[in-house]
Amino acid sequence: MRSLSSQLLILTIVFVMLAEVFIFVPSVARFRLAWLNERLSAAHLAILTLDEATDGMVSDNLREELLGHVGAYAINIRRGGAKLVLAADMPPPVQATVDLTESGLPKLVGDALMTLERTDARVLRVVGPSPKSPEVIMDIIIEEQPLKAALVDFAWRIFWLSIVISLVTATLVFLSLQWLMVRPMRRITQNMTDFREDPEDAQRIIPPSARQDEIGVAQRELANLQTGLRAALRQKEHLAALGVAVAKINHDLRGILSTAVLVSDRLEGSEDPEVRRVTPALIAAIDQAVTLCEDTLGYVRQDDAAPRIERMSLFTLVAEIADNAALTNKDGFHIDNQIDQGLDIDADRSQIHRVLNNLTKNAMEADAMTVTISAHSEPGFLHIDINDDGPGLPSRARDNLFLPFRGSVRAGGTGLGLANARELMRNHGGDLTLIDTGESGSTFRATLPVS
């Protein structure tokens, strides 16, 4: 009963039965009214024999036969000013009167339900116009028990008819939904399971459907999704292979550059003026190449994806970065640490250090003299603002700020620093964004989630 088709089958049966209940109540009321009208019609035909009888009298045997045919103890008819009576010698006392002129649906329903509920046998007086001739008023005395028996029989017939209609309707609805919805949904579900096992297999992509309904749209969209995902996975696989190759190349290149650094250091001690003149430019180029290798390795390295969370003091971390910055050769550059000394965060210390150090280093290289680091919190997040007094970022850099190899401000830069920094913050569940930039400086915001 957990399948969609089984649940639909049960719901269909239940809803059809509920609909039959709403139909059953007025049907019983109408059946009771029709049954009583039939008694009045039969009584009218029976009493017409008095018109043909001498002096309006019939024999006792004929009277009993006529009353027995109607099922009444007495029959009274008022036609114009005349009145005809056909009655047994000792009719029983009347216990209730039914006036068919009051035939509103609520009253008919209430009287029918009352008849079904009663257990005692009452004698009823039924008054109403004759179905044969509406100007004739009939008045008969009958027992209620035959009426109740007919109502019970009718109710059982309605019940079994409702069961048959419910089963037939539910079966047809079940088969229709099974063919139109359940089977296609099962195919979609099975295809999703198969595709999950090997998403790079083109044979496991669901064939697009020509159906124009929601199922067809879902199949076509799933086919597009699987095609795009397969292409993305193949591209990711190629990029991963390229990243491994770049990492190996950078590793070997760093070894070569290390040898070049050693040679360049010896060149600085040369007595040749021309050699000493070109040696600083050579060393700067080698340092730039080493930095490029380090940034590229940091970008393709995969161990950064899992930060090692620990409790640490953010003030102490910023103070350490400030002390290191004070040892640089740039005179007058300093970091203003405005972090609260009691502020502790849960993060990977080395990764947050890399992010803040990268931002302060970029500010220094952009000719900023002061970098102010502050923090403020809001529900669920801690914001670390890094503000510098540099000249701001050019529009070209702003457009490609966090894109690797495209977002660099410096000539010859890779743009990997900010890309790495944002990736590290996102690994923590936060982000790195540019809040403001202009002639008075730039402000970056590093966001960390807090519990």
Q: What pLDDT digit, counting tens, does each position of 174-220 carry?
A: 788 778 777 888 888 888 888 888 887 778 888 877 778 778 888 88
Please check whether residues 320 and 296 belong to one and the same domain.
no
Please check whether residues 15 and 85 belong to one and the same domain.
yes
* 200 within some domain: no
Please check whether residues 338 and 284 belong to one and the same domain.
no
Do the beta carbons of residue 406 and residue 413 sit within 8 Å?
no
- Model confidence at 268, pLDDT cuts 50, 70, 90, reads low
Please check whether residues 288 and 349 belong to one and the same domain.
no
Please check whether residues 225 and 355 belong to one and the same domain.
no
Number of domains the chain is built from = 3
**Residue range 392-409: mean pLDDT, rounded:** 70
Question: Residue 380, by phi and psi: left (phi above 0), alpha (psi -120 to 50) or beta?
Answer: left
Please check whether residues 20 and 132 belong to one and the same domain.
yes
Please check whether residues 441 and 312 belong to one and the same domain.
yes
> In terms of residue numbers, what domain contains 35?
4-167
* 180 within some domain: no
Of the candidate ranges 203-217, 313-327, 348-362, the one whose mean pLDDT is the lowest: 203-217
Specify the pLDDT at position 302.
Answer: 46
| pLDDT tops 70 at residue 65 | yes
Please check whether residues 28 and 148 belong to one and the same domain.
yes
* 186 within some domain: no
Whole-structure pTM over 0.85, yes or no? no
Output 158 or 60, whichever has higher pLDDT.
158
Specify the pLDDT at position 352.
Answer: 92
Q: What is the CA radius of gyration of the chain?
A: 49
Give the residue from 167, 185, 202 where a domain finishes.
167
Q: Backbone phi, then psi, for 397, in 5-degree steps?
A: -70, -35
Q: Backbone phi, then psi, for 126, in 5-degree steps?
A: -105, 125
| pLDDT tops 90 at residue 362 | no
Specify the pLDDT at position 432.
Answer: 92
Output 400 or 151, whichever has higher pLDDT.
151
> Can you tell me which residue has the tokens 């190449």?
289
Output 92 or 293, whichever has higher pLDDT.
92
**Residue range 136-140: mean pLDDT, rounded:** 87
Give the residue from 300, 326, 343 where a domain finishes.
300
> Can you tell me which residue has the tokens 């004698």?
123
* 33 within some domain: yes
Please check whether residues 319 and 431 belong to one and the same domain.
yes
- Model confidence at 409, pLDDT cuts 50, 70, 90, reads low
Please check whether residues 372 and 410 belong to one and the same domain.
yes
Please check whether residues 316 and 439 belong to one and the same domain.
yes
Give the residue from 300, 332, 364 where a domain finishes.
300
CATH number of the domain enclosing 438: 3.30.565.10
Please check whether residues 296 and 154 belong to one and the same domain.
no
d(C-alpha 387, C-alpha 358), whole Å? 13
Specify the pLDDT at position 318.
Answer: 92
Distance, C-alpha 387 to centroid of its chain: 42
Specify the pLDDT at position 303.
Answer: 46
Beta pairing class for 441-449 and 370-378:
unpaired
* 227 within some domain: yes
* 202 within some domain: no
* 188 within some domain: no
CATH number of the domain enclosing 272: 1.10.287
d(C-alpha 45, C-alpha 255), whole Å? 123
* 185 within some domain: no
